[in-house]
Chains A and B, each alone.
Chain A
Amino acid sequence: MSVKGAGDEGRIETGEEHPLDHILRRDRLPHIWCPGCGLGSAMTCFAQAIEGVDIPLKKQVLLSGIGCTGRIAGYVNVDSYHTTHGRAIPFATGLKIANPELCVTVFSGDGDLFAIGGNHFLHAARRNVDINVICVNNFNYGMTGGQQGPTTPVDAKTTTTRYGSFEHPFNLPYLAAATGAVYVSRWTTLHCRQLEKSMEKALQKKGFTFIEIISPCPTGFGRPNKLGEGLEELRYYREKSVIKNDASWDEMDLHMRGEEPIVVGDFVDTERPTYLELEEQMLRKRGFMK
């Protein structure tokens, strides 16, 4: 469609097929996310990552809970489960234990994973179940109307904190590392290449891996906090992000305002026996397995 005054010069050639279309459910596009939302970028990075690793697509499983991020499972053309609210990790644990050959990834939001599903996260990390958890953190409950969530920074305005939030938010990388995750990293949706590399690393790593993705939410979080459209939020990330792999836990607190930096990087990369390895070890020790 063209409008008056639109010139033909510089028009970009129309493409037939996006290079990642075979990983997407094309018939469902365009997706429901708002213009300027970072979820699409996070999903592109994930699609690139699952294509880049050696694990066949047939062995990839993606799970998600409820919320805007929960929709990701419906757009990816691998085996995917849209589970009940907060229960993506128990589903994933079950899947991995029933069929250890699968590469199981949980892709969900901060409200789903850390509010209603907080306990499941702690225990999956403690057991070191071999699953990958990717949390898209947009600092509020976007789908239900921008309410305060477990990661809303102090002083931030949401529909349920009109005078500014007076609760301390979770420091997600700290939480994940303290409960036993073997790989912890944090990127914003602007750090596409680093995010893709981290996801590839997490998919190939044994044990419980955790990636936090800081994403703009122009409708739910950006508007009441006057952060502007998604583009302005990304500009803010570009200005304030600092890559610091050996950052102390205090530095990782997010304020999302003023001069405080957003510390990103690969924070933890260790080894620990996984749940299935330990199970096998114990069964062998007691003579139940040869």
Chain B
Amino acid sequence: MKYWRRPLDKDEIKTPKGHIYLIPDRCKGCGFCIEFCPKGVLEESKEINKKGYHLPKIADGKEDDCINCNFCMLICPEFAIYTEEGE
């Protein structure tokens, strides 16, 4: 990210890192997490679960972009995806 000036508290404030987890057999492929992830981390994969729905996957080059905002967990109607504080 490019700043037009360096924020004064740049050293103190760290962007949180998140780790995404999925419970595949609960997913119904509605696509809410993919559409509404504020960082655009997810995309639809070709992989299917046992009910035949396409699961989300992490998009190319977005592996470290999750900021643990937990919005995917809130919007997921199936309790299938969540994030945890990563390293």
Q: State the A residues within 8 Å of B (CB).
A: 1-3, 5-7, 9-15, 18-21, 24, 29-31, 33, 35-41, 43-45, 48, 189-190, 192-193, 196, 229-231, 234-235
Residue of A nearest to B61 (CB): A10
Known: A24-B79, A39-B77, A230-B32. A12 touches B57 (CB 8 A): yes
**New A-B contacts (13) at CB < 8 Å, excluding given A10-B57, A12-B81, A15-B22:** A5-B46, A6-B45, A11-B57, A12-B58, A14-B21, A18-B79, A19-B82, A21-B79, A29-B78, A30-B78, A38-B77, A48-B74, A231-B32
Q: State the B residues within 8 Å of A (CB).
A: 19-26, 28-32, 35-36, 43, 45-50, 53, 55-60, 63, 71, 73-82
Is there an interface contact between B32 and A41, defined as CB atoms closer than 8 Å?
yes
Q: For the complex, would chain B's binding face be called helix, strand, loop or mixed by DSSP majority?
A: mixed
Q: Which residues of A contact B81 (CB under 8 A)?
A: 12, 15
Q: Which residues of B contact A5 (CB under 8 A)?
A: 46
**CA separation between A1 and B35, bound complex, in Å?**
24
Whole-angstrom distance between the Cβ of B67 and the nearest chain A Cβ: 15
Is there an interface contact between B82 and A12, defined as CB atoms closer than 8 Å?
no
Q: Which residues of B contact A229 (CB under 8 A)?
A: 30-31
* A-B contacts, 25 listed (Cβ < 8 Å): A1-B48, A3-B47, A3-B48, A6-B48, A9-B57, A10-B63, A12-B55, A12-B57, A12-B81, A15-B22, A18-B23, A20-B79, A29-B79, A36-B30, A39-B77, A40-B77, A40-B79, A41-B75, A45-B74, A192-B75, A229-B30, A230-B30, A230-B32, A231-B32, A234-B35
Is there an interface contact between B36 and A12, defined as CB atoms closer than 8 Å?
no
Cross-interface CB contact of B76 among A1, A9, A14, A44, cutoff 8 Å: A44
Known: A11-B47, A20-B79. A192 touches B30 (CB 8 A): no
**CA separation between A192 and B74, bound complex, in Å?**
6
